[in-house]
Amino acid sequence: MELFTQSIVESPAESSAASSERRGPAGKARLPGERALRLLKILVFLGCLVPLGLLIYNGFQDNLGPDPTATVTHATGFATLRLLILSLCITPFRRLSVRLAWLIRFRRMIGLFAFFYGCLHLFTYLWLFAHFDMQAILDDIAKRRYVMAGFSAWVLLVPLALTSTQWSIRRLGGRRWQVLHRLAYASAILGVIHYWWIVKAGVRTPLTVTLVLTVVLAARPLWSLAQARRRIRIRI
Amino acid sequence: MNRRTFLSGAAALGAAGLAAERFAGIVRPGLSVSADSDLATVKSPLSTTGEALTPLKDITSYNNFYEFGVEKSDPARNAGRMRTRPWSVTVDGLVKTKKSISIDDLLKFRPLEERVYRHRCVEAWSMVIPWAGYSLSEIIRWAEPLPKAKYVQFLSLADPKVMPGISQINLNWPYSEGLRMDEAMHPLTLLTFGLYGEPLPNQDGAPVRIVVPWKYGFKSAKSIVKIRFTADQPPTAWNDMSPREYGFYSNVNPNVDHRRWSQKTERRIGQPLWSQRRSTLMFNGYGDQVAGLYAGMDLKKYF
């Protein structure tokens, strides 16, 4: 079932490249077995739960630090941004070698976990900052650009989470589904902007995550360019 | 208690302080300090009442002291290398004569009072801290500023050898803060040497700092080495960095938002997750004493 998804989601150029590589000297693709993948999936699932698990554990230990509100806000925000960028790393990584094609099978889980942490981050704001005061929330969104950027980043993830099922992919058609899911780039960019806008002037802590996102985003046009050149060479 | 007992107590403390390991930066932050380095203080009628004190471990582990790094936990980790003996404070600018005073003479200069103050950071968190010190006005009188002096500037230590933040963070070093002369002379403005009856831990601004309880925390300069009297408003670090976000006055004011967040409420440090949030008070609750300083001023303009 998931292999089917993979082929439908890949762009035509990519699949042909992949299939031509698959017909290489080895004769067949060396992919990890189904069982290994299933085990790995469980591990990744548990790994994605670590930030939440730590918060809950430390909460019960009364160990959330001097400013627990800030601890929870930062932990959920970091988890969202890191998982979202990790989900965007999968495509460039898997393009490095056909033997990494199986990585695609982790993208949805990681993306959904990013959305999950985004929801927790939003809930933290609604509860501990705005106290569910609708006027205060609207005021914040209108007046504060970092709230606006963060909220927009979350809103963009909603349709992606809703269309993450196999059924949606078939329903929308691979091409359209793929175009829609490019919103993930916009969401990640807005997430990084949100981070820059909340730190004090002169503070450069968001730099690392910005550099990683830049590399991950730049990898895509570079790959397309390389593909185009390759096609020209084949024609010659 | 009379003045003489205070003075002898303070003298004894100065001697003990010299011997105390903590000043050599050997004692790690957060450890309890032996009794011989305790500061002798008397209760002050200017103390804030009816507030639960923030635990010492939070006051000494959650700090903004950018000389030692941007993270709240950085100062507790990095400030141990700063030497606070020998230390002296120089008084210059518009004064009768430029002079210096050693930290031990400063400690003995007036009896130390315990002053419990609310401490409100511009980042919307707050603490309640039992400081030890005496009114800054005492030392200003000793400094003999000229009549033209209208402002007081405080300059903090800037030693890149022991302060890793100086090369990492893009502020104008040394850290500079300032007050109008009447603000500096106000009895609430505290020249501060300790907290919880102990000498200031390095991460809280040892060996001597300013505390201005009705202003955002960054106005209260730490580890000061120079007090300068000027005719014009002195340059101040955060105001230089981002003048639209950090005003020269920076009085705590729930009605004037920071450009990026609301100042209507604050998070009390050391409280549980669900009960941290509370309303921010005008002038941090010290309006009765200080509102008169700003009579007729538009506090939205002079934020």
Nearest CB to A203 within list B58, B70, B277: B70
User: Is the pLDDT higher at B256 or at A223?
Assistant: B256
Minimum distance, in Å, between the CA of residue A149 and any CA atom of chain B: 12
Each of the 236 residues of chain A gets a pLDDT tens digit; together they read 333 344 334 444 444 444 444 444 444 555 678 888 999 999 999 999 999 999 999 999 989 999 999 999 999 999 999 999 999 999 888 888 888 888 888 999 999 999 999 999 999 999 999 889 898 899 888 889 999 999 999 999 999 999 999 899 898 888 999 999 999 999 999 999 999 998 877 778 899 999 999 999 998 888 888 888 888 777 66
In this prediction, residue A30 carries a pLDDT of 58
Mutate to test the interface with B, among A61, A62, A67, A124 (most CBs of B within 10 A): A67
Distance of CA A120 to the CA centre of its chain: 16
Query: C-alpha angle with apex A131: A125 to A132, nearest 5 degrees?
Result: 85
For residue A203, list chain B residues with Cβ-Cβ distance below 8 A.
70, 169
Q: Which residues pair with B227 in a beta bridge?
A: B91, B154
Secondary structure letter of residue A129 according to DSSP: I
Computed on alpha carbons and rounded to an integer, the radius of gyration of chain A in Å comes to: 20
**Three-state secondary structure of chain B:** CCHHHHHHHHHHHHHHHHHCHHHHCCCCCCCCCCHHHCCCCEECCCCCCCCCCCCHHHHCCCCCCHHHCCCCCHHHHHHHHCCCCCCEEEEEECECCCEEEEHHHHHHHCCCEEEEEEEECCCCEEEEEEEEEEEHHHHHHHHCECCCCCEEEEEECCCCCCCCHHHHCCCCCCCEEEEEHHHHHCCCCEEEEEECCEECCHHHCCCCEEECCCECHHHCCCCEEEEEEECCCCCCHHHHHCCCCCCCCCECCCCCCCCCCCCCEEEECCCCHHHCEEECCHHHHCHHHHHHHHCCCCCCCCC
Pair A92, A220: CB distance under 8 Å: yes
Report residue B297's pLDDT band, with 50, 70 and 90 as the boundaries.
very high
Task: Look at phi and psi of residue B270 and say left if phi exceeds 0, alpha if psi is from -120 to 50, else beta.
Answer: left
More confident residue, B134 or B1: B134
CB contacts, 8 Å: A145 with chain B: 260
The pLDDT score that the predictor gives to residue A31 is 65
The structure's pTM equals 0.79
What are the percentages of helix, strand and coil residues in chain A, rounded to 5?
Answer: 80, 0, 20
Q: Which chain A residues have a beta carbon less than 8 Å from that of B276?
A: 67-69, 128
State the DSSP H helix or E strand holding residue A11, giving kind and residue range, or none if neither: none
User: Residue B157 pLDDT more than 90?
Assistant: yes
C-beta of residue B153 within 8 angstroms of C-beta of residue B228 = yes
Q: Write down the pLDDT at residue A100.
A: 84
Mean pLDDT of chain B: 90
The whole-number pLDDT of residue A18 equals 42
List the single best residue of A200, A204, A205 to mutate versus B (max B Cβ within 10 A).
A200
Name which of A37-51, A134-148, B19-33, B35-49 the model is least confident about.
B19-33
Distance from CA of A120 to the nearest CA of B (A): 15
Q: Is B242 on the interface with A (CB under 8 A)?
A: yes
Contact, A144 vs A129, CB < 8 A? no
- Among chain B residues, CA nearest to A137: B262
Whether residues A67 and B257 touch (CB distance < 8 A) is answered with: no
Q: Does B171 touch chain A (CB under 8 A)?
A: yes
Q: Check pLDDT > 60 for residue B246.
A: yes
> pLDDT per residue over B168-218, tens digit each?
888 999 999 999 999 999 999 999 999 999 999 999 999 999 999 999 999
Assess A205–B contact: CB distance below 8 Å, yes or no: yes
Inspect the interface and report whether the beta carbons of A70 and B267 lie closer than 8 Å.
yes
CA distances from B93 to B89, B151, B223 (A): 13, 10, 19
Q: How far is A74 from chain B (nearest CA, A)?
A: 12
CB-based contact B170 A140, cutoff 8 Å: no
Question: B294 vs A172, which has greater pLDDT?
Answer: B294
Judge: B273–A68 Cβ closer than 8 Å, yes or no: yes
- DSSP one-letter code for A61: T
